[in-house]
Amino acid sequence: MSKTEQIGKIKVTQLRSGVGQLPAARATLRALGLKRIGHQVIKDDRPEIRGMAKAIQHLVSVEEVK
């Protein structure tokens, strides 16, 4: 990626609780920086972040930020 390219952003919102989920799912929530239901974080639109969000897609929603 060249220096002139802009990395897009995505907004990840926690919709459901991590209580009762597998430890890996709870760890992924924490790694994304999500702490409670309704909490939102804005992250770079990178394959690593997209993969983490997909792994816990039953707990979060993802939107592109312009």
Note the pLDDT tens digit of each residue in 42-61: 999 999 999 999 999 999 99
pLDDT at site 6: 81
17-65 in CATH: which number?
3.30.1390.20
* pLDDT reported for residue 28: 98
pLDDT confidence of residue 12? 98
48 by Cβ neighbours in 10 Å (0-12 / 13-18 / 19+) ranks as exposed
pLDDT digits (tens, 9 = 90+) for 4-28: 568 899 999 999 999 999 999 999 9
d(CA 64, CA 24): 25
The pLDDT, as a whole number, for residue 4 is 54
Q: What is the CA 42 to chain-centroid distance, rounded?
A: 8
